[in-house]
Amino acid sequence: MSDSYTNVGYGATMVGGGRRPAVLVVDLQTGFTDPKFPLGGLPMIHAASDQTAGLLEVARRRRVPIAACYTAYHTAAEMPHWKVRAVREEFFYGHPCTAMDPRIDHPDNFTYAKTAASMFFKTALVTWLVRQSIDTVIVTGCTTSGCVRATVVDAFSYGFRVLVAADCCGDADERQHRSNLDDVGRRYADVVDRAWVEDYLRALPAG
């Protein structure tokens, strides 16, 4: 189905996966995945967490590196001007909402805290990716319209091939989820699903 974007050439080509991928997991911490927390009861994020956990099992078997982040602050003074109440009130080191979801957490992951929307902003992620000669990032996590999108844009800006596993991402609203996937798919990334990513990972040379 054509639209004003495709008519003028948006989404005209597939980026495709490269030879050295890594999986990025955005903010699948208990603050977003455990219903006892204010942001933890969103069905799409629970589904995305389950899908991501399955994808990570395949990635580990294929020895594909995994980076997982959570959002946390020492004090309110270092926090950006978030408009999300739960983030402003709870996302501090030591609060249980900052723990990684146990479905995601693994000792082999590169796990670290971020302080802004993107996984890349003032973190060691680029250094970690470059040291392993990564050319492709597979983005998963939450939320699609917020930190996932910011991570996609930064990954694109740093020159990585970007794949977004749509069913491994979640948001509060299906419309915003779909709209943002559609938009990054027009501009910055290939929007695929978990099955596509797993087939791609299995086709990589061993090791």
Every domain of the chain and the residues it spans? 18-202
> DSSP assignment, residue 100?
B
pLDDT, tens only, 67-110: 999 999 999 999 999 999 999 999 999 999 999 999 999 999 99
Given a cut of 50, whether residue 1 has pLDDT beyond it is no
Distance CA 110, CA 128 (A): 8
pLDDT, tens only, 7-45: 999 998 999 999 999 999 999 999 999 999 999 999 999
The gap between the terminal CA atoms of the chain, to the nearest Å, is 40
**CATH-assigned architecture of domain 18-202:** 3-Layer(aba) Sandwich (3.40)
Active site residue 169: no
Give Dmax over CA atoms of the chain in angstroms: 51
Residues 140 and 68: beta-carbon distance below 8 Å: no
Distance CA 65, CA 169 (A): 19
Distance CA 170, CA 39 (A): 12
Distance CA 173, CA 109 (A): 29
| Average pLDDT estimate for 108-123 | 98
Given pLDDT bands bounded at 50, 70 and 90, which one contains residue 3? confident
Given pLDDT bands bounded at 50, 70 and 90, which one contains residue 2? low
Q: Is 160 exposed, middle or buried (0-12, 13-18, 19+ CB in 10 A)?
A: buried
* Total-model pTM: 0.96
Given a cut of 70, whether residue 193 has pLDDT beyond it is yes
- Which alpha helices (DSSP H) does the chain contain, by range? 4-7, 30-33, 43-61, 85-90, 125-131, 149-157, 174-187, 194-202
Residue found under tokens 């219903």 = 35
Selection from 139, 134, 132, 146 nearest residue 71 by Cα? 146
Q: Which of 97, 142, 147, 169 is catalytic?
A: 147
Tell whether the torsion through CA atoms of 31, 95, 146 and 144 is positive or negative.
negative
